[in-house]
Amino acid sequence: MSDLSDAERIDALEMKIAYQEEAIEQLNEVITAQWKKLDEFARELIRLNDRIEAAGANAPASPGDEPPPPHY
């Protein structure tokens, strides 16, 4: 080991703990923001799925069911 006194070793450990606590807090903030964004995306996906289903219900079953354009 090195020639550090007990007080210096404790100070070094306290600094490491403080750094780790800050890093954990920053990571927690990032994860929280990502979960919020993920929830937004999930709601948007549901909304888009509903729109697609509604558009499919209003669409003709097949192209043959549609009358031909006037130029025919």
CA distance 11 to 23: 18
In a domain, 61, yes or no: no
Residue 52, in any domain of the structure: yes
pLDDT in tens, 21-48: 999 999 999 999 999 999 999 999 999 9
Q: 57-66: per-residue pLDDT in tens? A: 887 666 666 7
Whether 45 is covered by a domain: the verdict is yes
Q: In whole angstroms, give the CA distance from residue 21 to residue 14.
A: 10
Number of domains in the chain: 1
Domain span holding position 47: 30-56
Q: What type of residue sits at position 43? A: R
Dist. CA 12–CA 19, nearest whole Å: 11
Question: Is 16 among the domain residues?
Answer: no
In a domain, 63, yes or no: no
47 lies in a domain?
yes
Q: Is the pTM of this model over 0.85?
A: no
